């Protein structure tokens, strides 16, 4: 196994050329999309470059970053699938008024409301699913509830 000195641009370019294809292949096996895999690998190379001064084993770090980022993407996909299951689930007629009221709420706020009250998600899980900060998730929920109050009154 070759040891790379990535502290210089030339060394990093050599590392990049040596590892790019194998890292894309690794990521693609996880996420089943070549374009997403390439994006993951580019993010990982960026992290390697940012931490180049402190890394003992850039290849190991690279592999760990790629694997963890792929797991993050898969976790988000699962959350989105669960969200869609709750959204498309048939609703009892007595609850149709709630869906009508929700239809009047802005899309991002509505999504946060669905995740919270139909998906039984925490604030952190909503933030992760929507790829937003926790404070923004709280704000979307608060404003969405206010919108609901206005639409049902």
pLDDT in tens, 103-130: 888 889 988 988 888 888 899 999 998 8
pLDDT of 61 reads 92
Q: Where are the domains of the chain?
A: 9-77, 90-152
H or E element at residue 24? helix 9-31
How far apart CA 94 and CA 150 sit, in angstroms, is 20
Answer for the pair 148, 102: CB distance below 8 angstroms, yes or no: yes
How far apart CA 44 and CA 4 sit, in angstroms, is 16
How far apart CA 147 and CA 42 sit, in angstroms, is 40
Task: Determine if the pTM surpasses 0.85.
Answer: no
Q: So what's the architecture of 9-77 in CATH? A: Orthogonal Bundle (1.10)
Q: Both tokens of residue 82?
A: 């669960």
Which CATH number is associated with domain 90-152?
A: 1.10.10.10
Tell me which residues of the chain have a pLDDT lower than 70: 1-3, 83-95, 153
pLDDT of 92 reads 64
CA distances from 136 to 36, 60, 75, 109, 149 (A): 26, 35, 20, 10, 20
């Amino acid at each position: 196994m070759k040891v790379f000195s990535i502290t210089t641009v030339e060394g990093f370019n050599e590392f990049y050329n040596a590892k790019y294809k194998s890292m894309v292949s690794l990521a693609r096996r996880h996420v089943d999309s070549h374009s997403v895999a390439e994006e993951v690998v580019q993010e990982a190379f960026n992290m390697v470059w940012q931490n180049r001064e402190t890394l003992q084993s850039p290849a190991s770090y690279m592999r760990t970053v790629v694997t963890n980022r792929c797991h993050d993407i898969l976790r988000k996909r699962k959350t989105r699938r669960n969200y869609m299951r709750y959204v498309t689930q048939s609703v009892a007629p007595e609850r149709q008024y709630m869906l009508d009221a929700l239809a009047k709420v802005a899309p991002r706020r509505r999504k946060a409301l669905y995740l919270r009250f139909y998906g039984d998600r925490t604030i952190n899980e909503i933030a992760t699913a929507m790829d937003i900060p926790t404070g923004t998730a709280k704000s979307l929920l608060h404003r969405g509830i206010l919108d609901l109050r206005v639409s049902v009154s």
